[in-house]
């Protein structure tokens, strides 16, 4: 499994528009990507223009396939990114902790 944590720092006042675009994106991921186990969006309580995505994929290949979908290209690359000041992405691998 691979976890992607992405933080979107929206241009001033663009948070609502980005949230609406992510609402458009989420059902497409759920419908077409069975190897995406979690696709969640969180909004900062302190700044409505800061949004975090929490995405869990079965494999790195599934994450790469996600980035190649037409809806990712349209919604994220085409319409979300132009509304951002910047974005930060980090990938994480699971760690087994024994009690």
Burial of 73 (0-12, 13-18, 19+ CB in 10 A): exposed
- CATH fold of 2-88 reads Alpha-Beta Plaits (3.30.70)
- For 39-60, write each residue's pLDDT tens digit: 999 999 999 999 999 999 999 9
Q: How far apart are CA 49 and CA 46, in angstroms?
A: 9
Domain boundaries, the chain: 2-88
* pLDDT(22) > 80: yes
Whole-model pTM: value is 0.91
């Amino acid at each position: 499994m691979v976890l992607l944590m992405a933080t979107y720092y929206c241009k001033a006042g663009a948070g609502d528009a980005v949230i609406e675009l992510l609402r458009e994106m989420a059902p497409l991921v759920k419908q077409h990507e069975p190897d995406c186990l979690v696709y969640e969006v969180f909004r900062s309580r302190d700044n409505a223009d800061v949004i975090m995505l929490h995405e869990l994929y079965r494999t790195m290949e599934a994450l790469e396939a996600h980035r190649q979908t037409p809806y990712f290209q349209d919604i994220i690359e085409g319409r979300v990114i132009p509304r951002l000041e910047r974005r930060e992405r980090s990938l994480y691998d699971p760690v087994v902790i024994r009690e």
